[in-house]
Structure 1
Amino acid sequence: MSDAAQPTAAEVRAAAEAIKTALDRHLAAVERRSGEDDPAVYEAFNQLAAAAEVYDELLYDRYDEVTPFEIPGAEDALPPYAGPEEPNAISVLIRRDYAVAEPQRLLAQAQRVEAAEYELVGAADDEGAGTVPGALGILFGEFEPDEIASRHKEFGLEEGDSTLWVTAADEPAEPGEWLEAPFEQVDPQRVVCRFDVSAVFDEDVSDGIDEEDELEFDGISDEDEDLESLDADR
């Protein structure tokens, strides 16, 4: 950024004062809160987050410094629930991320599934289990997502973040109504609850026992466990 475009010291100071004001408003809203999902607290939280973001940007642009804290923005928090008190229907939205850690293991598992189906139907896809996209299609077509999640190591996958949202609806959707765009038009105010799993939340420190030691203590190694799982499938 050029010097002409940099914020002035007065602008940075004004942004700092805005944070102080937003902090006072947030504390006052918390002290007066009427319940767990008080809209006034939610609004004050968003105002504080916005003020902090502006200050952080100006501080960096002017002085090449950052703040030692981070306040999540409004997009990171759900608004208070405003759906029906007694929902007639719910939708469960699930996202699970995986890294393809061992492509050869993934391909081998898909080839086993494909070979078993070939014996039954007498036809096989020459390219299906020979590529990673084809193998993923075979495995996710054969196993339920929950089984994939519980056996992900067997399939050469490594777990990433996951989230589950339960949203309320007035009536069940018509069959086939949302299949073209299943995750669009989600109203955040109708989210009954959500559950997030992420490595950024895992701050527990082991008590001096690493994973390898723990597996040896159990009398089985990770490799042996995987081989036994593969044998059990035969």
Structure 2
Amino acid sequence: MSDAALPTVAEVRAAAEAVKEALDRHLAAVERRTGDEDPAVYAAFNELAAAAEEYDELLYDRYDEVTPFEIPTPEDGVPYTGPAEPAAFSVLIRRDYAVVEPQRLIAQAERVAAHDREAERVHDGGTAGALGVLFGEYEPDEIASRYKDFGLEEGDSTLWIAASEDMAEPGDWLNSPFGHTDPEDVMHRFDVSSVFDEETDEFGEDADADEVADETARPGLTPA
């Protein structure tokens, strides 16, 4: 950026003052909040986020310096805008696995099929059929806790708690169980990934990827 295009010192100072004022408004809204999902707090948060982002950009352009805050973006997480007092909620879970030992997976399914004639009929001898047998016999949480026994390797996982105004009618969403969720209705999100372990290692700290979980908080300023 040329010197002519640089923001002025006055512009940077004005942006800093705007952040201070937004901080005061945010604190005041938090102190007056009427519940966990008070819309006034969200509005103040958004104003603070915008002011902080503006200041960060001007500070960098003028002085090549940055602030110690990272403002959440849509890629990081969508702010919750659902009902303040949800009457119902959905729990959505995704867990990824790699089949690293197909024969172990198939052998486990064959053991189940040996004691279950119905399972034997749907088991076709391959890994696809084996998965149908095993998930028909075991709860997903048991498979998650014993994944190595089934010749699997864990990948990323995520759990979403999404708010609803009302309980869905029986059968309403069965044809498209994951297509109805609006990201803005997600109240809480818990992610588990080895990427968090890699980020921790950069700072010289040890952590087990199986034990590292991240809850995407809404709203909040995340330390960079």
TM-score (norm 2): 0.60
Do the aligned partners of residues 56 and 179 (structure 1) sit closer, same or farther apart at CA in structure 2, a change above 3 Å counting?
farther
CA contact (8 A) 1:113 1:138 kept: no
What secondary structure sits across from 1:167 in the alignment? strand
Of residues 27-36 and 39-48 in structure 1, the stretch that sits farther from structure 2 once superposed is 27-36
CA contact (8 A) 2:6 2:61 kept: no
Look up the match of 2:148: 153
Query: For the aligned residues, what is the CA RMSD?
Result: 4.1
Do the aligned partners of residues 15 and 153 (structure 1) sit closer, same or farther apart at CA in structure 2, a change above 3 Å counting?
farther
CA contact (8 A) 1:59 1:66 kept: yes
**1:26 counterpart = 2:26:** yes
Of residues 70-79 and 155-164 in structure 1, the stretch that sits farther from structure 2 once superposed is 70-79
What secondary structure sits across from 2:42 in the alignment? helix
Look up the match of 1:46: 46
Q: What letter matches 1:68 in structure 2?
A: P
TM-score (norm 1): 0.58
Do the aligned partners of residues 198 and 5 (structure 1) sit closer, same or farther apart at CA in structure 2, a change above 3 Å counting?
farther
Look up the match of 1:173: 169
CA distance in 2, matches of 1:40, 1:31: 11
- Which protein has greater RCO, CA pairs closer than 8 Å, 6+ apart? 2
Look up the match of 2:80: 78
Count of matched residue positions in the alignment of Structure 1 and Structure 2: 189
Do the aligned partners of residues 180 and 80 (structure 1) sit closer, same or farther apart at CA in structure 2, a change above 3 Å counting?
closer
Do the aligned partners of residues 22 and 137 (structure 1) sit closer, same or farther apart at CA in structure 2, a change above 3 Å counting?
farther
Do the aligned partners of residues 169 and 9 (structure 1) sit closer, same or farther apart at CA in structure 2, a change above 3 Å counting?
closer
**1:186 counterpart = 2:182:** yes
Q: Deviations over 1:83-106 (max 9, x none)?
A: 56xx3xx34222234453xx433x
CA distance in 2, matches of 1:34, 1:169: 19
What is the deviation of 1:154? 2.7
What secondary structure sits across from 1:154 in the alignment? helix
What secondary structure sits across from 1:165 in the alignment? strand
Look up the match of 1:206: none
What 5-or-longer segments of structure 2 have no aligned partner?
Answer: 201-206, 209-224
Do the aligned partners of residues 17 and 179 (structure 1) sit closer, same or farther apart at CA in structure 2, a change above 3 Å counting?
farther
